[in-house]
Amino acid sequence: MSMQRLHPRSASQAREILIGVVIAALILAALSATPLLPWHLLDPIRAYFYERPLLNNLAKAVLLVSFMAVQCLFLIWMERKFAGWLQARLGPMHVGWKGVLQTFADAIKLLLKEDIIPALADKPMFRLAPYLVFVPAMLTLMVLPFSPNLVGFDYHLGALFALSISTTGALGILAAGWGANNKYSVLGGMRAVAQLLSYEIPMILIVLCVVTLKNTMSLTQIVERQAGLWNIVAHPLLMIPGALIFFSCALAEVYRAPFDLPEAESELVSGFHTEYSGMRFAIFYIAEFANNVFTAGFAAILFFGGWHGPVLPPIAWFTLKTLLLIFLMMWVRWTLPRLRIDQMMSFCWKLLVPASLILFCLTALSVVW
Amino acid sequence: MNTLPVQIAFYSLAALTLISAAYVVRARSIIHAGFWLLPCFVGVAGLFATLQAHFFFVAQLLIYAGAILVLILFALMLTRDAMSLHVPLKSHLGIWAGLISAGLGISASLVLARQSWSVTTAHPAGPARQAEALGEALIGLYAVPFEVASLLLLSALIGAVVLAKVERAPAPEPPPLADTLPEPEETRKEPVGVE
Amino acid sequence: MTLTTTEITSPGMTLNMGPQHPSTHGVLRLVVELDGEIIQSCRPVIGYLHRGLEKMMEARPYRHNVPFTDRLDYLASLNSNLAIAQAIERIGNVTVPERGQYLRVLLCEINRLASHLVFLGTFATDLGATTVFLYSFRERERILDLLEAMTGARLTYNWIRAGGVPTDLPEGFGERLTAFLDEFQFALDEYDRLLTGNRIFRARCEGIGVISREMAVAYGASGPVARGSGIAYDIRKVAPYDVYDRMEFDVPVYTEGDCMARYRVRVEEMRQSARIIRQCLREMPEGETMAKLPKIFKPPPGEAYSRTESPRGELSCYLSSDGSMNPTRVHFRAPSFFHLGLLPAMLPGVKVADVIAILGSLDTVLGEVDR
Amino acid sequence: MSATDRKVNVLLDILISLRSFLKGMWVTATNLVAREKVTLQYPYEKPQVSPRYRGLFYLPFNEKEQRLNCTGCTLCEQACPTKVISMTKLGAGKHGGVSEFNMDLGRCMFCNLCIEACPFDAIYMGSAYELASYDRDASVFRIEDLAQGGKRSVEINIKTISEALAEEEKAKAAKAKAAAEAKSAADAKAASAAEERQAAEKPAASEPAPSASPESPA
């Protein structure tokens, strides 16, 4: 078609794609071989931790947070690369092979950067805000089952708990917006909170649909009960619109285009974190990506069968699904324009909330019959 | 059940709740006071958790720490006085407030001390059953009070809408020459939201 | 408790958008009074880019004035060159050779493409669609390559002079240009698919920033802004200069007067520009490109006024001479200046996000406003 | 519009919206997969500039005549709107040139007017474009920086020109001398003729200043 004529891809770039595919295949092959590894050698260590619940939990938390930090670094690189390719650019290329180490360099730069607090800022709030955003973002991951064995805290109210914790993140954004004493920040913070609270409602309703269908609030059990068929396949009429609504809400929850109003850079400069620099900014950034991982993982659990899948080990499937959903989010983000605040609100209250209510009623009916 | 950790948890959570409640009262800035509510609510949620009331724990987090607190702060930020850090801390009503809350506190303590509570050492119902039991109670035995409460909330909602729906002040005086153009409200079509 | 409704209304907020702001398209400052997110009033503050260009021109001979016009509308400097070149020719009674006229039209239209591509990219970025920006700049880069091959510069061309165009086309320019235009058609279709039909883009543009026909006339709007408001006013048709009267092209006019109409006008204008460029390439006669001007150019005393259609609107130049080497007065009628005047009338009542969309759709260049 | 119509419209709108989003996403996907990436890794890869590119100026060195083309006529200086150019002339006339030629590129607009003004093809713009510097003085380019061949060609230029000028001077001097000699000879001749005439007319008259031919300026 016409596109081929416009800017044909050069041979070297085709080769790069090929290399990428081969690497991905190798990684997948290595992952699928993991069940064959001598895991039983680790049993004494497991037993040691199992006997000491406090230590066990601590170790889990440390593992989870460091895993998230590393994953965020990787995701940030991936997003920049992806956006670059999508926009006919190369993305980061300088640090490391094809810029893989770019985010590490950025992290070091941010660490070494002068830590600026505006003179007229509300200092305690300004300092507190990044942690109020970061801690809930990490806590949500606590109940997320990465595989049958790998779950921080298999809570029987997991779905509700995750939602409630993620709402608390709004406070941090409000604190950031208020504390910086910057008008753009205040506007951004207000927008963020209004958006978060509004989109929470359809999101909770859709989660309730799944909970009603599966008759449990535990995320592990929700996944386990999708063993045969993923939700989206088992109940297509309910779950496809459900997944769409959930996806829109997820985009709004993590402030991504077309719902990135809180940090709309063309209007509000950078929204609630306009005044942040250095490590505080990095914490916001990591929290944002942790939220991304959480919402994508949550969607994978609710609709796409979590860790279920053939051949590959469960953790690989879960990661794969999460990554694909994150890719989808990025793709949408780099394609669509941004909505206006009132349009976004009317979209939520006039379309998503009624639609999710109807969906919930239908789900209840389908369960009763 | 291991009681010592539970007791430690209880006392620290209680201390957290009370201290942050004190800060809510004492904070100079009304916004800071609002933010001090967060540890207060979280502490209460934690107390629910120590009591094995899982649903209340999550609901407290979701509704109070997540939603209500944010709304309170939202409302505070939209009011004029919150902008200044110099909200007067002393109030001539302070004495009355102190007296009333002291009276309430004393009477509540008396009631608590006098009343003979039926203490049970039996383990509460399985956590998974709790939510279910609660739900059944709400739409079964307590259906009528539940509905009445929701009716109350609905009327409050409508009242709020009625109160808040103030006629917007007319747009400021349009600049010269603008009389040739129609009013912006009229020319603009229906807001083209994604509906 | 005497809480009345007036007491709990939120106080207004004064927001300074710019001069340092991601989307003010140059150093424009908008002092905006907000009620929540709704604009109560807006006051554009200009002058941050004032360099006294008109005064500088008065202190220099006519021939030296042309490079300064590059700095007016820096996105379409060839069009600004044309405005003053025409004024000088008119005041000095110079006739441009025919090939020179064709080359001028060709260059101006290429530059119009480049300018509108910048509009497309920045407008989409203002609305949050960052990708379009890079796509349109990818295409613009090729236009700049072409202009570089012709003029040697990529931004401040200074290649339309009093008397014509100093050089002829370089070797193989026609073929390169035609090849580019062929691909550009597809690129435009692609932008259409990406933006025009997009529901969110439409929601952000349709019915936003409406300029009625009367208002456009009253405020002196011209160019795509006027044409978006249903006024079929194009200097290239109304008062044709150079060889525009021999060109076949349509003037796109939309009656809605909103951001979408202005966007559509510009996209359609790009197609028409491509048409004009093809005609120029086809019909250009051989011959001289530049008329000989005397070494010491002293026009007779008098005045001259030239009107041209720049990508932003009616760009006119006024010159007056007292018979000496230097002009006694140079003045530009910059379209962006008039369009900025529309803002205080349009903005009250819209949302903050719409400010950006409206400002983007006016496509102002501050170099031209402040001079 | 009836309620059912409205409902249908909403559903239709959702579908249309989704379709438009997918269309846009298809465009970005094709760009992701099928298109060339146009980034130029700038400091590592340099862009190819066109032959007409208006970059750093240079004064071409004329190999045949072993000098720069510039004659120091100051036409470029006059043509410059921002007074970028200043020069020191070296001699005048046919062999004239420049010994110094300064361009303050901090002021330059790269407008090409000086080049068009030059009748001797003595100044051009080259393809060098990395002219930014941290130092204001670094944007002042002297003749050694501008001349093709640098310092060496400037020296050759000055040498050639001064030699040519000296030659010219010598030639002129010789010519003047010859002219003077011829003139003095003619004077002498005329004087003697006059004397003769005078003598013939007034033989008794005293000799009136017998034309100081030895002191006459050469």
Question: Which residues of A129-233 form beta strands (DSSP E)?
Answer: none
- Please tell me which residue, B136 or C12, carries the higher pLDDT value: B136
Chain D residues lying within 8 Å of B194, measured CB to CB: 13, 17
Q: Domains for chain D: give ranges and CATH numbers.
A: 57-162 (3.30.70.3270)
Question: Which helix or strand (DSSP H or E) is residue B21 part of?
Answer: helix B3-26
**D215: pLDDT strictly greater than 60:** no
In angstroms, the Cα distances linking B103 to B15, B21, B97, B111 are 22, 18, 10, 12
Quick one: pLDDT at residue C258? Answer: 87
- Mean pLDDT over the full length of chain D: 79
- b/e for C329-348, b at 16 or more Cβ within 10 A? ebbbbbbbbbbbbbbbbbbb
**C146-158 b/e (C-beta count within 10 Å ≥ 16 → b):** bbbbbbbbbebbb
User: Which sign does the torsion angle of CA A148, A149, A151, A156 carry?
Assistant: positive
Length of chain C: 371
Q: pLDDT value at position B121?
A: 67
Q: How far is D131 from chain C (nearest CA, A)?
A: 15
Residue of chain A with shortest Cα separation from B76: A178
- Residue D34, both tokens: 């099928």
* Cα gap D157→D163, rounded to integer Å: 10
B188: nearest CB among C210, C219, C345: C210
CA dist C281 and C283 (Å) reads 6
Residue A221, classed as helix, strand or coil, is helix
- Contact between D142 and D104 under an 8 Å Cβ cutoff? The reply is no
Query: Could you say which residues of chain C have pLDDT below 50?
Result: 1-9
Domain-located, residue C105: yes
Residue A81 Cα, gap to closest chain B Cα (Å): 31
DSSP codes, C189-256: HHHIIIIIT-HHHHHHHTTSS---HHHHHHTT--HHHHHHTT----HHHHS--TTGGG--------SS
SS3 state of residue A234:
helix
Residue A5 above 60 pLDDT?
Answer: no
Q: Say yes or no: ipTM exceeds 0.90.
A: no
C-chain residue closest to A343, CA distance: C203
CB spacing of B194 vs C200 below 8 angstroms: yes
Q: Is B187 on the interface with C (CB under 8 A)?
A: yes
The residues that bridge with C45 in the sheet, in sequence order, are C29
For residue A1, name the pLDDT band (cuts at 50, 70, 90): very low
Res B152: pLDDT: 93
Chain pair A-B, CB pairs under 8 angstroms: 86
Band of the pLDDT at D21, cuts 50, 70, 90?
Answer: confident
Decide if C249 is inside a domain. Answer: no
CATH topology of domain B1-84: Four Helix Bundle (Hemerythrin (Met), subunit A) (1.20.120)
D93-137 pLDDT, tens digit each:
777 788 888 888 888 888 888 888 888 888 888 888 888 888 888
State the pLDDT at residue A62. Answer: 82
Residues from D contacting C (CB-CB < 8 Å) are 13, 16-17, 20-21, 23-24, 26-28, 31, 38, 49-54, 79-81, 109-113, 116, 125
Please give the Cα distance from C332 to C186 (Å, whole number).
36
Evaluate whether D136 touches D130 at the Cβ level (below 8 Å). Answer: no
Contact assignment for B70 to A156 by CB distance below 8 Å: no
* C335/C115 Cα distance (integer angstroms): 14
Both tokens of residue C222?
A: 């011209």
Position C11 scores a pLDDT of 59
Structure tokens at C256: 């809605």
Q: What is the mean pLDDT of residues A251-258?
A: 82
Please answer yes or no on whether D81 and C150 come within 8 Å at the CB atom.
no
Q: Is the confidence at residue A311, as pLDDT, over 80?
A: no
DSSP H or E run through C303? strand C302-310
**Residue C61: inside a domain:** yes
D52 neighbors C152 (Cβ within 8 angstroms): yes
Residue C262, class by beta-carbon neighbours within 10 Å (0-12 exposed, 13-18 middle, 19+ buried)?
Answer: buried
pLDDT of residue B179: 44
pLDDT band at A7 (very low <50, low <70, confident <90, very high): low
CA distance A139 to chain B (A): 13
Residue C302, strand partner residues: C321
Is D31 in contact with A351 (Cβ distance < 8 A)? no
Shortest Cα distance from B55 to chain A (angstroms)?
A: 8
> How many whole angstroms separate alpha carbon B38 and alpha carbon A128?
12
CATH assignment of the domain containing C160: 1.10.645.10
Q: In 3-state terms, what secondary structure has residue A276?
A: coil
Contact B192 C350 (CB under 8 A): no
Q: Model confidence over B19-51: pLDDT tens digits?
A: 998 888 877 777 888 888 888 988 998 888 888
Q: What is the mean pLDDT of chain A?
A: 81
- The predicted-structure confidence for A128-138, as pLDDT tens digits, reads as follows 888 888 888 88
Q: Which residues pair with C321 in a beta bridge?
A: C302, C327
- How far is A26 from chain B, CA to nearest CA, in Å? 43
Shortest alpha-carbon distance between residue C149 and chain B (Å):
46
Judge contact between A286 and A69, C-beta under 8 A. Answer: yes
Tell me the H-state helices in C301-348.
335-346
B93 touches C: beta carbon within 8 Å: no
A340 touches chain C (CB under 8 A): yes
What's residue C45's pLDDT?
87
B103: Cβ–Cβ under 8 A, 6 or more apart, which residues? none
Every domain of chain B and the residues it spans: 1-84, 126-165
> Scanning every residue of chain D, which has its alpha carbon at the shortest distance from the alpha carbon of C61?
D81
The answer to whether B178 faces chain C, any CB pair under 8 Å, is yes
The stretch B127-156 carries a mean pLDDT of 84
The answer on pLDDT for A93 being more than 90 is: no
Question: What pLDDT is stored for residue C295 in this prediction?
Answer: 77
> Which amino acid is present at B70?
V
Task: Compute the distance between CA of residue A347 and CA of residue B194 in angstroms, rounded to an integer.
Answer: 6
Query: What confidence tens digit (pLDDT) does each residue in B163-195 have?
Result: 877 665 555 554 444 444 444 444 444 444 433
Partners of D31 on chain A (C-beta within 8 Å) are 86-88
**A334 at the C interface (CB within 8 A)?**
yes
Query: Between chains, do C70 and D28 touch, taking CB under 8 Å as contact?
Result: no
- Show the tokens assigned to C204: 């952000």
Q: C-contacting residues of A 7-36, CB under 8 Å?
A: 7
| Inter-chain touch B80–C200, beta carbons under 8 Å | no
pLDDT for the residue D4: 62
Instruction: Give the whole-angstrom CA distance, residue D138 versus residue D158.
Output: 24
For tokens 């207004």, the residue is C12
- Is the pLDDT at B1 greater than 60? The verdict is no
Query: 3-state class of B112 per DSSP?
Result: helix
Cβ-Cβ contacts under 8 Å, D36 against chain A: 7-10, 13, 88
For residue D56, count other CB atoms closer than 10 A to its CB.
20
Residue A80's pLDDT band, with cuts at 50, 70 and 90, is confident
C135 contacts chain A (CB < 8 A): yes
Q: A369 falls in which pLDDT band (50, 70, 90)?
A: confident
Q: Which of C3, C34, C38, C41 to mutate to test the interface with B (most CBs of B within 10 A)?
A: C41
D164: closest CA of chain A, how far (Å): 56
d(CA B171, nearest CA chain D) in Å: 31
Q: Which of A2, A260, A267 sits opposite C352 (nearest CB)?
A: A267
Of A4, A88, A93, the CB nearest to D38: A88
Q: How many domains does chain C divide into?
A: 1
